[in-house]
Amino acid sequence: RLLAQEHHTEGLQHWQQATALYSPEGLLPDETYLPTTLLEPIREQLRQRWLLGQRCLAATANDESSALKWWEAIHQAEPLDQEANAWLEAYHHRQGNLSSLRVVVQRRRAAEAEFDLL
């Protein structure tokens, strides 16, 4: 909402703070005592909000090298994300960085293979 209300800089700072606090490993120190059926929807909702924050930060980055860390974080969390794959592959191709391009492609292929096993 802050971004839509012309508080762009403040909105970006809040996204950065929120995404930095996100931890997919756990929500609470004692969550092992809570039922999975209660936690899973909350975890997924937080994960989706975190991904949205990463996309927002990537889209509003001042330059490609700044956007790179956000797209990379999305790709590590979601290796099958088409937008992250396309952006990272194009970026590394433009940079002539075949090693990093190979990592992106291998990560995607590994996720595809894992998905095929399900």
C-alpha separations of 86 from 3, 16, 68, 103 in Å: 25, 23, 12, 13
Mean pLDDT value across the chain: 85
How does DSSP classify residue 80?
T
Question: What pLDDT sits at residue 30?
Answer: 61
More confident residue, 42 or 73: 73
Cβ-contact 104, 88 below 8 angstroms = yes
17-49 pLDDT per residue, tens: 777 767 666 555 566 777 878 878 888 888 898
In the chain, where the domains are located: 1-60, 64-118
Over residues 108-116, mean pLDDT:
93
Largest Cα span, the chain: 49
Question: What pLDDT sits at residue 96?
Answer: 97
Instruction: Provide the whole-model pTM.
Output: 0.76
